[in-house]
Amino acid sequence: MEKHHRFSLWYVLIAIWGVLLLNNFIVTTYGPKNLPYSEFLKKLQAGDITEVSITGDVIEGTMKVPDAATKEPKDEEFVTRRVAQDLSNELAKYNVHFRAQPESTFLRDILSWIIPIMIFFGIWYFLMQRLNPGAGVMAFGKNKARVYAEKDLSTRFADVAGCDEAKAELVEIVDYLKTPDRFRRLGGEMPKGVLLIGPPGTGKTLLARAVAGEAGVPFFSISGSEFVEMFVGVGAARVRELFVQAKEKAPCIIFIDELDAIGKSRAGAIVGGHDEREQTLNQLLVEMDGFDPRVGVIIMAATNRPETLDPALLRAGRFDRQVLVDKPDVAGREAILRVHAAKVILGPEVDLSVIARKTPGFSGADLANAINEAALLAARKDKDAVGMADLEEAVDRIMGGLEKKNRVINPKEKQVVAYHEAGHAVVATFTPGADEVHKISIVPRGIGALGWTQQLPTEDRYLMSQTELLGKIDVLLGGRGAERLIFGDISTGAHNDLQRATDIARAMVAEYGMGRTLGPATFPRQNRPVFLGAEQSGLAGREYSEATAAKLDAEIKEILEASQERVAELLADKKELLENIAQTLLETETIDEARFKALVEAAGGGPKV
């Protein structure tokens, strides 16, 4: 393996010191003899000086010295520094041949001016390279797009799974880049822009790279945030340069990731303002209008917030084709798992279809993370292959957080947590519309979760009925109801359950038209992201009066109180099963699906009522 040595200033200092020592040795050994000025005057008076050269205060010349071998005088070079100011008379008096040399200031100028300036510029250049690697001071206007040649793009459609519909849409782009004449002969033109929209982690960037890899054309990749700098006009300049480079390498693909960073709507902008982001967006709009689609430049972009984009970007002639890259269904999740599992060693008992069914709502990035986490867990245990238990533990870690088995919980609190989770499980088992219980645990996970009741749907769902929503509220209130039934008191452990139950009830009344107050009318939360969760937006608003808000609050409270009564009645009827589940949890800390079903059957079981 090649070793990389780090540069150090000590190397330079040692080298300078070595050069000085070598120079001193050469001057001392082979240079002219350093003669004191007093000795020079004595030799001058004795007639031993034959020739001198005077440069400023420095006197160089030759003198006669006796040879130790032949006892005859010989010439020897010497150097001394003059002390007296007038020496010409003395030299002429003793018939010495002398001359004056003009003093050269070249070396002094280099040492005093040029070298410090060079050192300063060297330090300045080094700092600029560290602040902005690969660019100089005048490169702010240059685009930062990463250009991938055809040979560098190894991604193909076979590497992308779980989004077959999106791939089918993009196959046409590949066909156009490969055989444009087939489309042009009928007068058709390829869409100028293709916008990939969907939740984070669904493979939008991977799809764009696969299109470039399949078509065998250069790929310009840049993030929307890389256009904008602190200097006004830099973003627009980078957009212009990016399109100039793309036209030179056509046919090619320009991919702009996180388009919403520069493409946000200008509707709320201050009139007359000169926002840098707005100038960048205007230049992008101009460039998309200005180039000929027959050149073969395809613009692709990705965003998970299409609702914030400026309408001018989405009109026909710009990003006129929008491709949805949604979270995969169960078949798509299994295909994604197989793509990523091909990189690890799996045990013979691993069934990826089971993992796919246990991961509803997972994106492609989540599934890749699950495979990687399972491989790390297996390696930590020194296993030869990744087993089914490792995959399930990895999924649990992603969904619920890291287990904290070392957290010390006093027996009283542990008992409360056990009955709380048992309450969730019992209500989920006997409530119509509730998802099946997959696992119960009282091992702390994540930041604040002291227990966890994992429910998994039996199939992917895209619609929810009013009965199912009420069932979710009942399950959320089951933990609090169990605490009240067993201990006659309630704890703060139901804080998150109450918040989620209230959100569902409010959505039923205000958004889904399932309440009496508004009837079929709806007042959804304003500016709610399409592909981001409500907890990620932090934006809420209302368009109704205070009187209507009071009626809504009253109806929401009524829904929650009715659910609380149903839960209390159900738990009182199933108290024996509740006790058995809680005691088993206190003994084993975790109950899997098979053990839980056995406990339910032992208590009489029965269908959901």
Name the binding residues.
Answer: 198-205, 420, 424, 497
* Angstrom distances, CA of residue 228 to CA of 81, 219, 278, 282, 318: 65, 21, 10, 13, 21
3-class DSSP assignment, residue 495? helix
The sign one gets for the Cα dihedral 427, 432, 435, 438 is positive
- What is the DSSP code (8-state) at residue 258? S
* DSSP per residue, 515-580: STTTTT---PPTT--SSS-HHHH------S-HHHHHHHHHHHHHHHHHHHHHHHHHHHHTHHHHHH
Closest C-alpha among 307, 295, 311 to residue 192: 295
* Angstrom distances, CA of residue 280 to CA of 70, 262, 339: 91, 7, 38
Q: Which residues pair with 302 in a beta bridge?
A: 196
Closest C-alpha among 318, 242, 326, 226 to residue 277: 226
Q: What is the dihedral of CA 522, 527, 529, 535, to 10 degrees?
A: -90
C-alpha to C-alpha distance for 481 and 568, rounded to whole angstroms: 6
**Strand duo 297-303 + 590-592: pairing:** unpaired
3-class DSSP assignment, residue 195? strand
C-alpha to C-alpha distance for 126 and 564, rounded to whole angstroms: 68
Active site residues: 421
Binding region for ATP: 198-205
Binding region for Zn(2+): 420, 424, 497
